[in-house]
């Protein structure tokens, strides 16, 4: 008998061909991302397994999933690595496992960071627009070589960015993280000097104020939690060097969008490139703070991890976690809860 698995339409659409290879044992049930629609699909199908994307869920789907699981656990398999949209307390309350797909999207996100940075540095969106409007009108850009790139959050993605920026473009990389340099190095069984050399890091900081004074360009890769939500508020944005550039491919909740609008519109910041937002699809915090109206910002619709390669890797890990769950090999799953 096939195992029913509810999966949001967007995630199924990215990997329908891949998922169909497992149709002999899994009944895939695509549904709309809205929580009411997800809950109805769970209830109608009897599914105890659910595959979700980045959307936020905080209510009815948890007891519905648990009800189908009976005395056993349920499973939410995230198609991605972030899990700030999942209510961990409700997972624990209703005996629901949560898995993620670590390592599957690091390179894709890091490459998108560099794409946004190059687009900003060389004015590519503006120049492309001019050419499409029959205006052969240059606009001078700047090189990345020897510029100081600050990476806030030095996890797997931050490390990939550091490698590309330092070894590919000759940038000077400064890293900021809550973990000390010694702790980071110990995790990889390296000396501190070897760790810095391995990733092309010029300076490493655990103090934000010392870090932010050094950088020309900031890319954000912090996790979202109570201490980092809206971490980049007006106070911290105000500490950035004049004419700095901010890039966010991490999580929308890390940046106060009103404060960012103010910093960009006043030219306190030179430019920004944003792939993630507080509300997705993007909605401005209010009409007068609409980031889309600014000429010095590049916006992409949460696509940093959306490559064929990353999607296939995530799909494979989702299916692996489902099979491990069905085989009761819970300790081998890439579990958060």
CB within 8 A of 35, min separation 6: which ones? Answer: 57, 58, 59, 60, 61
By the 8 A CB rule, do 113 and 304 touch? yes
> Phi-psi category of 243—alpha, beta or left, where left has phi over 0 and alpha has psi -120 to 50?
left
- Residue 94 annotated among the catalytic residues of the structure: no
- Residue 267 annotated among the catalytic residues of the structure: no
- Among 280, 312, 316, 330, which one carries the catalytic annotation? 280
- Among 78, 94, 112, 302, which one carries the catalytic annotation? 302
- Residue 251 annotated among the catalytic residues of the structure: yes
Distance CA 42, CA 5 (A): 8
Place of tokens 């009103």: 258
Angle formed at CA 309 by CA 303 and CA 314, multiple of 5 degrees: 80
- In eight-state DSSP terms, residue 50 is E
Distance CA 167, CA 201 (A): 10
Q: How many residues does the chain have?
A: 337
- The answer to whether the Cα torsion of 314, 320, 324, 326 is positive or negative is positive
92 Cα distance to chain centroid: 24
**Which residues are catalytically annotated?**
251, 280, 302
């Amino acid at each position: 008998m096939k195992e029913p698995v509810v999966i949001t339409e967007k995630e199924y659409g990215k990997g329908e061909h891949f998922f169909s290879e497992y149709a002999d044992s899994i009944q895939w049930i695509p549904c709309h991302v809205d929580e009411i629609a997800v809950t109805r699909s769970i209830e109608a199908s009897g599914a105890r397994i659910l595959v979700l994307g980045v959307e936020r869920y905080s209510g009815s789907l948890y007891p519905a999933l648990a009800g189908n699981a009976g005395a056993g656990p349920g499973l939410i398999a995230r198609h991605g690595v972030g899990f700030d949209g999942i209510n961990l307390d409700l997972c624990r309350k209703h005996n629901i496992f949560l898995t993620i797909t670590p390592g599957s999207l690091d390179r894709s996100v890091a490459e998108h960071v560099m794409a946004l940075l190059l687009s900003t540095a060389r004015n590519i969106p503006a120049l492309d627009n001019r050419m499409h409007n029959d205006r052969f009108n240059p606009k001078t850009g700047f090189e990345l070589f020897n510029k100081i790139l600050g990476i806030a959050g030095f996890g797997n993605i931050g490390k990939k960015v550091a490698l590309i920026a330092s070894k590919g473009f000759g940038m000077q990389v400064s890293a900021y993280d809550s973990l000390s340099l010694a702790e980071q190095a110990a995790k990889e069984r390296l000396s501190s000097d070897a760790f810095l050399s391995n990733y092309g890091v010029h300076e490493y900081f655990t103090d934000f104020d010392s870090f932010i004074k050094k950088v020309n360009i900031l890319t954000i890769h912090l996790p979202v939690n109570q201490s980092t939500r809206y971490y980049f508020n007006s106070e911290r944005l105000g500490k950035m060097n004049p004419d700095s550039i901010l890039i966010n491919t991490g999580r929308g909740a890390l940046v106060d969008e009103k404060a960012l609008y103010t910093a960009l519109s006043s030219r306190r910041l030179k430019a920004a490139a944003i792939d993630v937002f507080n509300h997705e699809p993007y909605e401005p915090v209010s009409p007068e703070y609409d980031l889309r109206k600014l000429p010095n910002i590049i916006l992409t619709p949460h696509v940093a991890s959306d490559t064929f390669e990353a999607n296939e890797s995530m799909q494979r890990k989702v299916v692996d976690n489902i099979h491990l769950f069905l085989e009761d090999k819970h300790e081998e799953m890439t579990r958060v809860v």
